[in-house]
Amino acid sequence: MSKAIGILGGMGPAATVDLMARLIAATPVECEADHLRLLVDCNPHVPNRNEALASTGEYPADALVAMAQGLERQGADLLAIACNSAYAWAAEIRAGTGVPLVSMIDATVAMIPAGARRIGLLAADACLHARLYQTPLERSGHEVLVPEDQAGFMRLIYGVKTGHEDASARAGMAALAQDLIDRGAEIVVAACTEVPLLLSAADIPVPLVDSTDALVRRLVAEATA
């Protein structure tokens, strides 16, 4: 019997739907009943993670824990968050529930080849502030590069959250990734779940490590074990 996955989503909604669609596509099935049970709390009212870690907004820990507890009551056997930055409050979620929280951060870092020296990181302000990726990557001997135009990156991310995924937005994200590559990045990490909605592996000349894909692989493996 497979395990039910509880998803803390809505940060933002399009990235949550993308995660769900990829989970469905990645699950090996022979009939409808073989698909995984997904319990999803798509809550766009979770306080802004970037503002929280910049000390300009409300902290989201209480909202995230309440979502996790609700999913646990509904029968979730595993929890995951469709937002990299929200993993800054992973400790509070784990303390508030009895259900394992699968780490998108750990899953993504595990997909990065040890031989790659310079890693280009496309991540939201909160994710960078919390050093969710910089700390484990630097401990493994990697050098981490972030966009010189982080404000431009954030504009694109907030644009996706309001439905702007047009050619101009895709070109803007590709340009930010190319800047990292021009500065020496051997791999680009899509460390924000909105990034894959604008950038694909075919858009850049170096490997793209996609955090949503990494989480999907880990979740399918754990849910079907």
Q: How far apart are CA 186 and CA 49, in angstroms?
A: 29
Question: How many CB atoms are located within 10 Å of the residue 42 CB?
Answer: 16
d(CA 170, CA 199): 6
Q: Which helix (H) or strand (E) holds 21?
A: helix 13-26
Q: Specify the length of the chain in residues.
A: 225
State the helix-helix crossing angle for 150-161 and 13-26, rounded to 10 degrees: 80
- The residue from 31, 42, 83, 127 that is catalytic is 83
Residue partners of 44: CB distance under 8 A and separation at least 6: 10, 11, 12, 13
Annotated catalytic residue 192: yes
42 given a catalytic annotation = no
Q: Which of 31, 42, 127, 192 is catalytic?
A: 192
Catalytic positions, written as ranges? 83, 192
